Amino acid sequence: MAWEGVRQIVPNQAASADLSSYQYTFVKIGSAGVVNNTVNGDLCEGVLQDAPAAAGRSASVCYAGVSKVKAGAAVLKGADVMSNTVGKAITAVTVATSATDVTTAAPWDFAPADTMVVDVDNVGNATATFDAAQGYQIDSTTYAVSDQVGLNITIAIDGGTAQTITFAGTTTSAAHVIAEINAQLIGGAAEASTSFVKVKSDSSGTGSSVLCGVGTSGLTFGNAAVAGTGDVVDIDAVTAAEFKTVVEADTTATVTINADDTCSVFSPTTGATSELEFVSGNVLALVGISVAVVTGEDSNSHVMGKALSAAGAADEVLSVLLAKTKV
């Protein structure tokens, strides 16, 4: 039978999500609040005492004393215990870990062709490149044209609502058209392309697009619109999922996305020979990773305490004297 003793508790923390099924499991406290542990043998802040059923609800974490803890398997009385991948107590064992580093939270503002150069496990530098190009359309008007004053064209940027550009003053040349577009268009800009007018989106990536309509004007847009390209939707707001896809495609590193939208970058190997050398590239500073060498460990599992009672099977509750050490 499990019991509780004198406990030291951090009260009134916010749950990061519905944690109603995680009462009496090992948890962490991060920027998003209290989160359930997902890493075998990881260091946790303590044991969740209550069962908050939604994000933002109060959560109390016991960090010292004797707490009830759910077992992840049979545990003998007197055994050192650690957390498993769902926060339950299991007998502590040695767990070799990968070299890893953690980014800041997405999204990130990159520029086209920004890179991250990393050497994974000393096999040589690999470069993750974030490609993105603007969508655009070039008109096919023969200039000079009759004065377009009072007439209009329409321009839709990135699939949004078409904006009406109304020409004022004398508008007979490509330069006049460009000036009027740039004075009124939101989210894009116009420039000269030989003797024609090129309208570009301000964004770059697969979500970038421009679609021009002649409206009431005498201009023509016979050239098909060119869609934005790249491996991200918007290079100015790169998501954690896009970061993962590019890094894993261009290097041998592994990326996992965390609950708070940060990313953990791992070597695929474990132990003291596991290594990530972050070499260079604009992306490193933008995602909060330093130029450095990071190595794994032969044992990086953490004892969270000692079992004061036994558990015969998973999900039984035992008493644990909380005391954090490394295996």
The single-letter code of the amino acid at 63 is: Y
Instruction: Quickly list DSSP for 26-59.
Output: EEEEETTEEEE--STT---SEEE-S---STTSEE
Residues above pLDDT 70, as percent of the chain: 100
Question: Which of 230, 261, 283 is the C-terminal boundary of a domain?
Answer: 230
On whether both 150 and 108 belong to a single domain, the answer is no
93: Cβ–Cβ under 8 A, 6 or more apart, which residues? 41, 82, 301, 327
Identify the pLDDT of residue 146: 96
For residue 226, being part of any structural domain is answered with yes
On whether both 162 and 224 belong to a single domain, the answer is yes
Identify the pLDDT of residue 157: 98
For residue range 205-256, what is the model confidence (pLDDT) as tens digits? 999 999 999 999 999 999 999 999 999 999 999 999 999 999 999 999 999 9
Whether 123 shows a pLDDT value over 80: the answer reads yes
On whether both 209 and 149 belong to a single domain, the answer is yes
For residue 64, being part of any structural domain is answered with yes
DSSP 8-state class, residue 247: H
Range of the domain at 80: 7-95+300-326
On whether both 115 and 264 belong to a single domain, the answer is yes
Identify the pLDDT of residue 236: 98
For residue range 10-26, what is the model confidence (pLDDT) as tens digits? 999 999 999 999 999 99
Total domain count, the chain: 3
On whether both 60 and 115 belong to a single domain, the answer is no
On whether both 136 and 273 belong to a single domain, the answer is no
For residue 155, being part of any structural domain is answered with yes
Whether 75 shows a pLDDT value over 80: the answer reads yes
For residue 2, being part of any structural domain is answered with no
Q: What is the H or E stretch that residue 174 is in? A: helix 174-184
Whether 299 shows a pLDDT value over 80: the answer reads no
Average pLDDT over residues 262-276: 96
Identify the pLDDT of residue 54: 97
For residue range 37-66, what is the model confidence (pLDDT) as tens digits? 998 899 999 999 999 999 999 999 999 999
Identify the pLDDT of residue 76: 97
* Bridge partners, residue 264, by sequence: 102, 256
Whether 101 shows a pLDDT value over 90: the answer reads yes
For residue range 139-184, what is the model confidence (pLDDT) as tens digits? 999 999 999 999 999 999 999 999 999 999 999 999 999 999 999 9
Identify the pLDDT of residue 304: 97
Among 202, 146, 140, which Cα is nearest to 173's? 146
For residue 278, being part of any structural domain is answered with yes
For residue 110, being part of any structural domain is answered with yes
Identify the pLDDT of residue 70: 98
On whether both 175 and 91 belong to a single domain, the answer is no
On whether both 44 and 62 belong to a single domain, the answer is yes
Whether 326 shows a pLDDT value over 90: the answer reads no
* Residue 308: other Cβ atoms inside 10 A: 15
* Residue 51: other Cβ atoms inside 10 A: 15
Whether 327 shows a pLDDT value over 80: the answer reads no
